[in-house]
A and B are shown apart, each in its own frame.
Chain A
């Protein structure tokens, strides 16, 4: 098994460029995060903490929370943040070694990365935490008819604020990775910098799959319109920049640029098909959520 893994690693290292390997690390980590959550979702275990409540209560209470949500927050939060940071640091190191990464640009990218990770995690926490307490608030409102404001408050933070912050954080991270490519990218237009067929497959398939997953998550999170606009804006900037430099090969040669464009195309196609099949609502978020399907 170990030899097989080493063989596979050797094959990947020998046949892919550093930028493709960085992209694959990002994608594999994302896949690992999804897989890590699955057993906890299947088991449905709850984590319980007994603690002392102050503020006029002065007694012990037991807080109960789904384990799958805790693992989800840990896997997509700090663990993915380190992976995202590693991807950017490797990209900066590669280009700076080639003399194509000014120090000021490196600093700006690092700052943007910190802000995008802060935004993504603020959204992730709001979404996951208010999803749990919102379900309880709704159950209480359905049972008693009291606490409608609590339900509305939790609903807004879970569905609208949380998902939009997640989308904004992710899209700004993609923008950071796209901006990390040197301004003078004529180097990338050379045929020897073109991705080979295997690499293109390794980028296109995960990009398309990620596009579908991101579409479903955006539809469920009511942030499809926002993500389409923001992803579209980034894709337009990327395309215009490469066209302005007459560097037509740049997009197909850079995994993260290809990822942005392919993902946008998949999202557009998915939302168009979804809207055509189910119709659209006359108010935001316009699209029906997958959980609304009968």
Chain B
């Protein structure tokens, strides 16, 4: 193993020099954006398609302590949502992150320490997305069950308050933080320094497509988050990503924004449009529906309509 250790001069990069014929730079950028589109499609499919699935799945089981038989019931749409969001989104997120990381590794622009850090961050994002979604699905159903008894006693009310908090505040925040973390990893994987010019330059249409994607996703995710009482999480999180990104480029770029080239960094355009769309959507929604006096401040669309 000593020989292995001494041979790690390349920083232990498993992708260096492998993979056959490499894609040209612009094609590589397009494939990165396709994986982003796939991530967004899985995100939308989990939400939209589950609305069309009907039926209930029953699991008969025995309560071990008493030996009494019981039945656990779950909506088929919830099972679909768990599969697509908790696991489909993790797989789509991994593809998105892996394609971006590999792109910069092929150009030798991603140090192994940064790569490892981003990989560790991704597993945290994966557990936030999967865990948050599973908790949301089951606590949402449980919330409806304990809500009926909440007025019976102080114990029942305390149970309802706890279940509601976990369902609405914890689980939604986890999902949205997980999704933003995946986007943050993708943006952080890009080197701040000069990019290898022609190899990464793309057509204006590709950059415009990325910006349009950011605009659509920003508005939709803000509304989804407002429904889940986590609108502020998405707003603050996306603004924090943008400000950090700008600050890093300003500092590393010799107190200028010269490194922010939209035709080489379509993800920056995506993030900018995401933040703008989310902010506009939040402002418009607060004008239409008003604000609550305490967190989560934004009214839920389903309550208003």
Contact = CB atoms under 8 A, between A and B. Distances in A.
Interface of A: 17-19, 49, 51-56, 58, 60-65, 77-78, 81-82, 84-86, 89, 92-99, 101-103, 106-107, 110-111, 113-115, 117-122, 124-126, 129-130, 132-133, 136-137, 139-140, 143-144, 146-147, 149-150, 152-157, 159-160, 193, 222, 281, 283-285, 289, 292
A139 B142 CA distance: 16
6 contacts: A58-B292, A81-B124, A110-B119, A122-B134, A153-B141, A160-B72
A147 B162 contact: no
Nearest to B300: A54
Interface string B93-116: 110001000000000000010001
Contacts of A133: 142, 159, 162-163, 166
A97 B8 contact: yes
B4 interface: yes
A144 B142 contact: no
B156 A147 contact: yes
Interface of B: 1, 3-5, 7-8, 10-15, 18-19, 59, 61-65, 67, 70-72, 86-87, 90-91, 93-94, 98, 112, 116, 119-120, 122-124, 126-127, 129-131, 134-135, 138-139, 141-142, 145-146, 149, 152-153, 155-159, 161-166, 168-169, 229, 292-296, 299-300, 303
Contacts, number: 217
B211 to A, nearest CB: 29
Nearest to B157: A61
Contact of A118 (B131, B153, B155): B131
A77 B127 contact: yes
A94 B14 CA distance: 9
B232 to A, nearest CB: 12
Contacts of A52: 292-296
A152 B14 contact: no
- Residue of B86, B93, B126 with most chain A CB atoms under a 10 A cut-off: B126
Contacts of A157: 72, 138
A147 B139 CA distance: 16
B142 A150 contact: yes
Contact of A121 (B87, B130, B155, B229): B130
A146 B151 CA distance: 12
B305 to A, nearest CB: 14
A92 B12 contact: yes
Nearest to A106: B14
Contact of A114 (B10, B90, B139): B90
A231 B87 CA distance: 22
Nearest to A113: B123
A94 B142 contact: no
Contact of B64 (A62, A99, A119, A159): A159
Given A94-B1, A125-B131, A129-B139, A289 B15 contact: no
B120 to A, nearest CB: 5
Contacts of B299: 54
B87 A137 contact: no
Contacts of A125: 131, 134-135
A143 B112 contact: no
Nearest to B299: A54
A284 B139 CA distance: 25
A63 to B, nearest CB: 4
A146 B61 contact: no
A9 B12 CA distance: 23
Contacts of A130: 138
Given A111-B94, A160-B72, A289-B64, 19 more contacts: A54-B168, A54-B229, A60-B294, A61-B161, A82-B124, A84-B123, A89-B116, A94-B8, A94-B12, A101-B14, A102-B18, A103-B14, A121-B127, A124-B131, A125-B131, A149-B145, A153-B141, A193-B1, A284-B62
A53 to B, nearest CB: 6
When A and B form their complex, which 3 residue pairs have the shortest distance between CB atoms, in order from nearest?
A: A93-B12, A118-B130, A96-B14
